[in-house]
Amino acid sequence: MIYLIEYDRESGKLVRIEEFVPTQRRQAEEKRLRVEIERLETGVSREVVLLEASSQDELRKTHRRYFECLDEMLTQALATGA
């Protein structure tokens, strides 16, 4: 699966996640570009990325920072001794 993610670095929050099947790669890339252009035109600073993963659960494991706040990640790291 391909995931379009829009992330607000300042607030540390996920703004958008959209899922595309692999055959929709071109549509996903076009959507990412449109979103980036819209944000630049409005002066809104956001991270807009496309990521691939077998599932959203897998994506949440490999790219935790988009889904968990820093406090949650720190608490979990301390609890597991990581």
The predicted model scores a pTM of: 0.80
pLDDT of residue 76: 56
Do 7 and 46 contact (CB within 8 A), yes or no?
A: yes
The pLDDT, as a whole number, for residue 11 is: 85
Residues of the chain short of pLDDT 70, as ranges, are 69-82
b/e sequence 36-56, b meaning 16+ C-beta within 10 Å: eeebeeeeeebebeeeebeee
Give the pLDDT confidence score for residue 59 in this predicted structure.
92
